[in-house]
Structure 1
Amino acid sequence: MKKNLLTRELYNELTSQKEWLEKEAIPTNSEAIQKAREQGDLSENAEYHEAKDLHAKLHHELETINNTLEHAEIIEEITDTRNVQIGHWITFTTIHNDITMDKTLQLIGQWDNKFTSISSDSLLGSALLGKEAGETFTINPPAGPITITIQSIEIENAQR
């Protein structure tokens, strides 16, 4: 099975989220289901149906986190910036349809979901892996080719 590449920070966040779900959210939800059940007729009991819907969502989230942690490979401290690795901040220029844009994003594992990041499983993320600063390459998404030049690779983002 494929490993879930996680930074230590994300691993700790997921572990905390799992603990919160198991010790607080799910038990509180179970109590809400029981209280709603005690109100009688369940067919028209909106509180009961809402609590049951939340119950399913909480258990799905817990299952997803458990699967992620079970197959996690933690990326330890990164010290080498010669080529792009998960956890690095990459500044790059894209050219698409004669429009040039500069971007700075962190390359992350597929499970992380930070707004300022790109998944290593995405078209761009997988193309960035292993590249060096100054390197230019092209990716071909459905919208048309995009030429990318890596400007810099950093361990921390100075702009954060």
Structure 2
Amino acid sequence: MTTSEPVWLTQAAYDRFAEELEWLTTTRRVEIAKEIQEAREDGDLKENAGYHAAKDEQGQIESRIVELEALLKTAEVREAPEAKGVVELGTVVEATIAGRPQKFLFASTELASETDLRVFSPESPVGKAIEGLKIGESATYPAPNGNEIEVTITGVETFRA
């Protein structure tokens, strides 16, 4: 995630991401540095699989730290909005998509771990098509093959984590 747009998070999600960031920047950074040092002591770095694996993991850790810092910096922490029959960030949406009924959370993908529901973000093709729609309204969005897919909103509920 590299956007500077505000991201809606529940307090529980924010706290979980903050804890992950704390763990990565303290405990895990120290552990991976130690693993790299130990692997470096094993000799020839060109053929040292342990060293290269640890360096790769270090890169992944640093990337995740940057991602979490950006997320927490732009987070808008609040409870889910009370459903008013309109698709808005933080609502559970019931819709018919390409003739099939579906139920999903309309929120940033970072909230996927907070629910068993599928999550569609406002940046997704579905999200762009449905944001602001009322129950009974329809829209279309482009499929990867260029065809248009129809989505009709059949319900909007308040998200309960």
**Bin of the TM-score, shorter chain as denominator length:** 0.7 to 0.9
Q: Which has the larger helix fraction?
A: 2
Show CA shifts across 1:51-94 (max 9, x none): 11111111111111112222222343312333111111101012
User: Residue 41 in 1 paired to residue 40 in 2?
Assistant: no
Q: CA RMSD in A?
A: 2.2
Equivalent residue pairs, number: 154
Q: Residue 106 of structure 2 aligns with which residue?
A: 107
Which whole-Å CA distance do the structure 1 matches of 2:126 and 2:80 have between them? 23
| Higher alpha-carbon deviation: 141-150 or 60-69 | 141-150
TM-score (norm 1): 0.83
Q: Residue 82 of structure 1 aligns with which residue?
A: 85
User: Residue 24 in 1 paired to residue 27 in 2?
Assistant: yes
> Residue 143 of structure 2: which of 135, 141, 144 is its match?
141
Gaps of 5+ in 1: none
Aligned-partner SS, 1:33: helix
Alpha-carbon distance, 1:112 to partner: 4.2
Which whole-Å CA distance do the structure 1 matches of 2:4 and 2:46 have between them? 43
**Deviating runs (4+, > 4 A) in structure 1?**
110-115
TM-score (norm 2): 0.83
Gaps of 5+ in 2: none
Spell out the pairing of 1:4-23 with structure 2 (5 A cutoff). Answer: 4-8=6-10, 9-23=12-26
Which whole-Å CA distance do the structure 2 matches of 1:102 and 1:69 have between them? 34
Alpha-carbon distance, 1:124 to partner: 0.9
State whether residues 108 and 120 of structure 1, in contact with CA within 8 Å, keep that contact through their aligned partners in structure 2: yes
Q: Once the two structures are aligned, what percentage of the paired residues are identical?
A: 26
Which whole-Å CA distance do the structure 2 matches of 1:156 and 1:133 have between them? 16
Distance 1:41 1:127, change over 3 A: same
> Residue 92 of structure 1: which of 75, 95, 101 is its match?
95
Which whole-Å CA distance do the structure 2 matches of 1:58 and 1:70 have between them? 18
